[in-house]
A and B are shown apart, each in its own frame.
Chain A
Amino acid sequence: MSRPAEGIPEPRHRLGLAALAGRGAVGGGAADDDVTGHADVVLGFALAWAEAVAGTSYVSMSRSEVEQHLAGLTRQLVTALLAEPFDPAPAREVGAAMVAAHFTGTETLTRTVALLATDLPARLGLTGDACPGRERAVERVAAVQGALAGGYAEALRQRTLDEQEAISQAVFVARDQTEQALRASEARFRAVFAEAATGIGVGDVAGRILDANASLLDMMGYSLEELRQRNVRDFMHPEDAASVWRLYDELVQGQRDHFRVEKRFFRSDGEVIWTHLTTSLIRDDRGNPTYQVAMIEDVTDRHLLQERLRYQALHDPLTGLPNRALFLDRLSRAFETGGRDGRVGLCYLDLDGFKVINDSLGHDVGDQLLVAVGQRLDACVSAPGRLVARIGGDEFIILVERSGSTQDVVTIADHVLAALEAPIRVGEHELAVSASIGLVERPVQGTTPADVMRDADITLYWAKSDGKAKWALFDPERNAREVARFTLSATMPAAIERGEFYLDYQPLVRLSDGQLVGAEALVRWRHPEFGLLAPDRFIGLAEETGQIVPLGRWVLREACRQARLWQDRFGSRAPFISVNLAVRQSRDPGLVADVAKVLADTGVEATRLQLELTESAVMGTADEPLDALRALSAMGVRIAIDDFGTGYSNLAYLRHLPVHELKIAGSFVEGLRASAADGSHVVDARIVGTLVSLAHALGLGVTAEGVETEAQARRLDDIGCDSGQGWYFARPGPPDQINRLLS
């Protein structure tokens, strides 16, 4: 590694010292002849020299190698001392060779010069004034000493300078390489900073912006100079979450090392950009907060896309109005923010007859109509706190988030109906549309979004069924009734099985002698929840739902079972049993078979059964029910027309019908009360009289209903009416009442 030490014999060439001493193996120019005779001198001096300098310098040689090396140098010195003419120059080379072999310790030179003064001249016999040539021996020795010292000094100086130069150069190179690496590293980081697609900004902990890369400048629309005059806090956005600036404060105070948020920024042109912001704290060597580095990613496009997707998810693509999802969201929020006193209103709107337009003019026209309706609604309704949404088909809904009173939604409904009065032009069509609106308006306390939605739906149905092109306001009592109706119809089949129904019987009395001749069976429902229910509460409902057929079958069977009991007990005095037949029952194809089976099962004579039907059931029908009635009549069953006089009976037609009895409606009988002061009783008496005459003319019996007083009974008897029924005789009651009357 160091300069190869010139003059060091390589080990493989190691020769005997004696041989070496006699050979001119080392150094230049000396005449071998001068040394040949002094081999022993050379050897002796070299050993003495090696001994003298041992340990004074570090040379990479063993002791014997040192001796070899010094022997070579000794030969040069001998040559110089003895040369003719005298020339001390080779001694300079010896001095240089010592340095080259790294005899660099100055003590080595000291001892060498001393030894040279005494030992070598003595060995050569050059003592005192002895003179090998013109010079005296001492002069030659001194000159050789001087030359050796001079050569040594020059070589050592040169070596020192070289080594100093070399080590300084090494430091320089090492530093240069380090700096290059630093510069390269810095350049890389600079490039990362400058070229990054992410915006990067550097600020101090006071918020002063120090540097920003091109992406950030581009993103924010500022020049670097403009940005440097601003503080991070200038970029506060009013919609920033409070946590953003709390995190920022914690960061610049050194309480956290980074944070990551979503944040909006105003660009220099006022436009808003959406970003992902990551801010990191840079500390100095002692850990004190020094800088902040913000990495800002512009996610505006992504945000807008999300917004658009969100918009699409929450809006109806046809009309552009909010859809059901957004409406329900806003409705829920109105409940959440409504507090204790908040009220909410809904106008649930459905176009009347839209299906007809769609079916006749096509879906395209239908769609355009919906768009136009949506625009009108939006124009006449939309305001802060109100939302118009299309929630499906031709259904729209208006949400009033903070309603003041019911009047608010009524006013809106009136406006909407008015707005839809003008025909809507779709292509070449002038379309007249109307809408039905269900209104719900109430405090948010004590109700839920689902409740108001359900009630609005019900109310819309009311508006539709009440006649269309109008609004209906939710009525809790009506609703309760309907709920009850629904509950009743739903529970009726099970109620029949559980025996919740029972029959009361009201006597039918012969007016001429007051004899009980028959009993009308009247059904009752002992409801576990609603209590005792009269037929008007559930018969109509049972007709609607069809439950009337099984219920009627049960009534018939139960009434006949009772009739059989009376028949057994009272024989010929037993009353006939009169059972009401609903319209739907009268049209039931199984009616005749049912009746026959019940009569057979109970053993009641057919003539003891009377079936009461309304006028409309008998008159306004096609032939099939009449066939059934004729068949029943043929079996011996009596047919009565109930509430006669309230319908539109074709009197001429009566003669063709299988009818045995007319029951005159109580409203006519009411006018026969003696107390009636207005004279109406005279008119009613004539009507009843005419009816009785007519019935008798047709061979029919007549029963008056609703007889409440003795006077009425007397008058009816006078008129010629056959039988009576009413509170005057007896209220409807259990079978025992009949038993008592007959006993």
Chain B
Amino acid sequence: MDRPDWAPGDIDLARPSAARVYDYYLGGSHNFAVDRELAAEAVQLWPDLPRIMRTNRAFLRRAVRYCLASGIRQFLDLGSGIPTVGNVHEVAQAVDPGCRVVYVDLDPVAVVHSRAILPREGRTAVVHGDLRDPDAVLAAPAVRELLDPDEPLALLMVAVLHFVQDADDPAAVVARYAEEMAPGSHLVLSHATHEGRPERAEPHQRLYARTRTPMRMRSHAEVAALLDGFELVEPGLVPLPRWRPEVGDAADDHPERFAGYAGVGRKP
């Protein structure tokens, strides 16, 4: 894409960006004072946040590896954000360099940055797009060139659907993507929840109202509904650290503290 399709208002450094805040939680420096301020306030309200974020990132890594083990070699990562560490293509191409990965994000700065550091071997691409518009995303040239619709795909919606409001009908969005996925494809999903720590969740959601992507945390039932039509792989929709922990990962007595559900569904 030679011409960006975002408006100047999308690049507003007076506003925190969810992608840059996430980067900060993961220990990155791809962020600005305004992002760090929001993160600091959030951490003050909810000291576990950085750990929750890291747990989420670890889930992503484990889920990608699970998909790889299931034979999947193409990935569509919606809401990929600022690539700090442990990105999908790194994880995937470490196992098989032939893996193809397309990142999609709404944040123009995240997109430009991703492009700057993306290896130019032609198996990864970044699309500036809004995941809420599945038809536009699926029609993007990079998606059409890199991803084979007849081959199983891993659709990654990791810590992103809680930025989709009910008015935008996230279930319909997921269903639309699912429609285009070959049988055997996987949906990798993690989602913030207020269940477990409702007193923390509420002010946290309010903080994100400052960004261009306000939050909508959902209950277990609501998140499960998003996976409608997929066969959940073991262990189902569970707290973040409980999803297929790796050997040596510290067991946690209070996994609900992690304030997020994770699950992987397989399209029959």
Which residues of B in the span 81-97 have a Cβ within 8 Å of any Cβ on A? 82-87, 89-91, 94-95
10 A-B pairs within 8 Å (CB atoms) are namely A1-B103, A1-B117, A2-B117, A10-B94, A57-B27, A58-B58, A60-B57, A63-B250, A160-B29, A177-B108
Do A174 and B11 have beta carbons less than 8 Å apart? yes
**Which of A67, A164, A166, A179 has a CB less than 8 Å from the CB of B248?**
A67
Which residues of A in the span 153-184 have a Cβ within 8 Å of any Cβ on B? 159-160, 163-164, 166-167, 169-171, 173-175, 177-182, 184
The minimal Cβ–Cβ distance linking B173 to chain A, given in whole angstroms, is: 25
Q: Interface code B65-93, partner A: CB below 8 Å = 1, 0 otherwise?
A: 00000000000000000111111011100
B112 at the interface (CB under 8 A from A): yes
B7 at the interface (CB under 8 A from A): yes
B116 at the interface (CB under 8 A from A): yes
Among residues of A, the one whose C-beta sits closest to the C-beta of B87 is A1
Do B94 and A11 have beta carbons less than 8 Å apart? yes
Do A170 and B116 have beta carbons less than 8 Å apart? yes
Residues of A within 8 A of B8 (CB): 175, 178-179, 182
**Which of A67, A166, A171, A174 has a CB less than 8 Å from the CB of B4?**
A174
Do B29 and A63 have beta carbons less than 8 Å apart? no
What does DSSP make chain A's interface, helix, strand, loop or mixed?
helix
Given A64-B247, A167-B82, A167-B109: A102 and B29 interface contact (C-beta under 8 Å): no
**Which of B27, B124, B246 has a CB less than 8 Å from the CB of A104?**
B27
**Which of A57, A60, A178 has a CB less than 8 Å from the CB of B108?**
A178
In angstroms, Cα B156 to Cα A27, docked, is 36
Q: Interface code A2-30, partner B: CB below 8 Å = 1, 0 otherwise?
A: 11110000111000000000000000000
The minimal Cβ–Cβ distance linking A30 to chain B, given in whole angstroms, is: 26
Residues of B within 8 A of A4 (CB): 90
Do A3 and B94 have beta carbons less than 8 Å apart? no
**Which of B51, B57, B112, B117 has a CB less than 8 Å from the CB of A3?**
B117
Do B85 and A170 have beta carbons less than 8 Å apart? no
Residues of A within 8 A of B117 (CB): 1-3, 166
A55 at the interface (CB under 8 A from B): yes
In angstroms, Cα B30 to Cα A169, docked, is 10
Q: Interface code A563-597, partner B: CB below 8 Å = 1, 0 otherwise?
A: 00000000000000000000000000000000000
In angstroms, Cα B51 to Cα A14, docked, is 27
Given A11-B95, A174-B111, A177-B3: A166 and B30 interface contact (C-beta under 8 Å): yes
Residues of B within 8 A of A64 (CB): 246-248
Q: A58-B84, A64-B248, A170-B109 are in contact. List 20 more A-B contacts (CB 8 A).
A: A1-B114, A1-B118, A2-B83, A2-B86, A5-B85, A58-B53, A58-B58, A60-B85, A60-B90, A63-B246, A160-B29, A164-B29, A166-B30, A169-B116, A174-B10, A175-B11, A178-B8, A178-B11, A182-B8, A184-B3
In angstroms, Cα B215 to Cα A404, docked, is 90
Residues of B within 8 A of A182 (CB): 8
Do A55 and B4 have beta carbons less than 8 Å apart? no
**Which of B26, B82, B112, B249 has a CB less than 8 Å from the CB of A177?**
B112
Q: Interface code A95-107, partner B: CB below 8 Å = 1, 0 otherwise?
A: 0000000101100
Among residues of B, the one whose C-beta sits closest to the C-beta of A60 is B86
Most interface-central of A57, A105, A159, A166 (chain B CB within 10 A): A166
A54 at the interface (CB under 8 A from B): yes
A59 at the interface (CB under 8 A from B): yes
Most interface-central of B54, B83, B112 (chain A CB within 10 A): B112
B257 at the interface (CB under 8 A from A): no
A243 at the interface (CB under 8 A from B): no
Residues of B within 8 A of A5 (CB): 85
A411 at the interface (CB under 8 A from B): no
Do B27 and A167 have beta carbons less than 8 Å apart? no
B13 at the interface (CB under 8 A from A): yes
Residues of B within 8 A of A55 (CB): 51, 54, 250
Residues of B within 8 A of A60 (CB): 57, 61, 85-86, 90-91
The minimal Cβ–Cβ distance linking B204 to chain A, given in whole angstroms, is: 19
In angstroms, Cα B27 to Cα A173, docked, is 24
- Return the 9 tightest CB-CB contacts between A and B, nearest first: A60-B86, A63-B248, A1-B83, A170-B113, A163-B29, A1-B87, A104-B27, A167-B30, A62-B246
The minimal Cβ–Cβ distance linking B158 to chain A, given in whole angstroms, is: 14
Q: Interface code B14-25, partner A: CB below 8 Å = 1, 0 otherwise?
A: 000000100000
In angstroms, Cα B51 to Cα A159, docked, is 21
Given A167-B31, A181-B3: A174 and B94 interface contact (C-beta under 8 Å): no
The minimal Cβ–Cβ distance linking A645 to chain B, given in whole angstroms, is: 117
Given A62-B249, A102-B85, A181-B3: A174 and B54 interface contact (C-beta under 8 Å): no
Name B residues whose Cβ lies closer than 8 Å to a Cβ of A: 3-4, 6-8, 10-11, 13, 20, 26-32, 51, 53-54, 57-58, 61-62, 82-87, 89-91, 94-95, 103, 108-114, 116-118, 124, 246-250
Do A58 and B27 have beta carbons less than 8 Å apart? yes
Given A102-B85, A167-B82: A174 and B248 interface contact (C-beta under 8 Å): no
In angstroms, Cα B110 to Cα A3, docked, is 16
Q: Please tell me the number of chain A residues within 8 Å of chain B, measured between CB atoms.
A: 40
The minimal Cβ–Cβ distance linking A505 to chain B, given in whole angstroms, is: 111
In angstroms, Cα B20 to Cα A260, docked, is 51
Do B90 and A62 have beta carbons less than 8 Å apart? no
Residues of B within 8 A of A11 (CB): 94-95
The minimal Cβ–Cβ distance linking A632 to chain B, given in whole angstroms, is: 112
Do B113 and A181 have beta carbons less than 8 Å apart? no
Residues of B within 8 A of A164 (CB): 29-30
The minimal Cβ–Cβ distance linking B28 to chain A, given in whole angstroms, is: 6
In angstroms, Cα B85 to Cα A164, docked, is 15
Among residues of B, the one whose C-beta sits closest to the C-beta of A2 is B85
In angstroms, Cα B252 to Cα A54, docked, is 13
Do B247 and A62 have beta carbons less than 8 Å apart? yes
In angstroms, Cα B113 to Cα A171, docked, is 8
Do B4 and A177 have beta carbons less than 8 Å apart? yes
Residues of A within 8 A of B31 (CB): 167
**Which of B7, B29, B90, B114 has a CB less than 8 Å from the CB of A159?**
B29
Residues of B within 8 A of A159 (CB): 29
Q: Interface code A194-229, partner B: CB below 8 Å = 1, 0 otherwise?
A: 000000000000000000000000000000000000
Do B11 and A167 have beta carbons less than 8 Å apart? no
The minimal Cβ–Cβ distance linking B258 to chain A, given in whole angstroms, is: 12
The minimal Cβ–Cβ distance linking A187 to chain B, given in whole angstroms, is: 13
Which residues of A in the span 34-58 have a Cβ within 8 Å of any Cβ on B? 54-55, 57-58
Residues of A within 8 A of B91 (CB): 60
In angstroms, Cα B11 to Cα A180, docked, is 14
Among residues of B, the one whose C-beta sits closest to the C-beta of A10 is B94
The minimal Cβ–Cβ distance linking A156 to chain B, given in whole angstroms, is: 9
Do A1 and B90 have beta carbons less than 8 Å apart? yes
Most interface-central of B4, B7, B95, B246 (chain A CB within 10 A): B4
Residues of B within 8 A of A169 (CB): 113, 116
Which residues of A in the span 430-466 have a Cβ within 8 Å of any Cβ on B? none
Do B112 and A163 have beta carbons less than 8 Å apart? no
Most interface-central of A11, A104, A167, A175 (chain B CB within 10 A): A167
Do A58 and B54 have beta carbons less than 8 Å apart? yes
Most interface-central of A1, A62, A177 (chain B CB within 10 A): A1
Residues of B within 8 A of A63 (CB): 246-250
Given A2-B117, A59-B85, A171-B13: A178 and B30 interface contact (C-beta under 8 Å): no
Among residues of B, the one whose C-beta sits closest to the C-beta of A3 is B117
Residues of B within 8 A of A57 (CB): 27
Residues of B within 8 A of A3 (CB): 117
The minimal Cβ–Cβ distance linking B230 to chain A, given in whole angstroms, is: 26
Do A173 and B112 have beta carbons less than 8 Å apart? yes
In angstroms, Cα B7 to Cα A182, docked, is 9
Residues of B within 8 A of A1 (CB): 83, 87, 89-90, 103, 114, 117-118, 124
Q: Interface code A284-306, partner B: CB below 8 Å = 1, 0 otherwise?
A: 00000000000000000000000
Among residues of A, the one whose C-beta sits closest to the C-beta of B246 is A62
Among residues of B, the one whose C-beta sits closest to the C-beta of A177 is B4
The minimal Cβ–Cβ distance linking A195 to chain B, given in whole angstroms, is: 22
Given A174-B6, A174-B109: A54 and B13 interface contact (C-beta under 8 Å): no
**Which of A59, A166, A177, A179 has a CB less than 8 Å from the CB of B116?**
A166
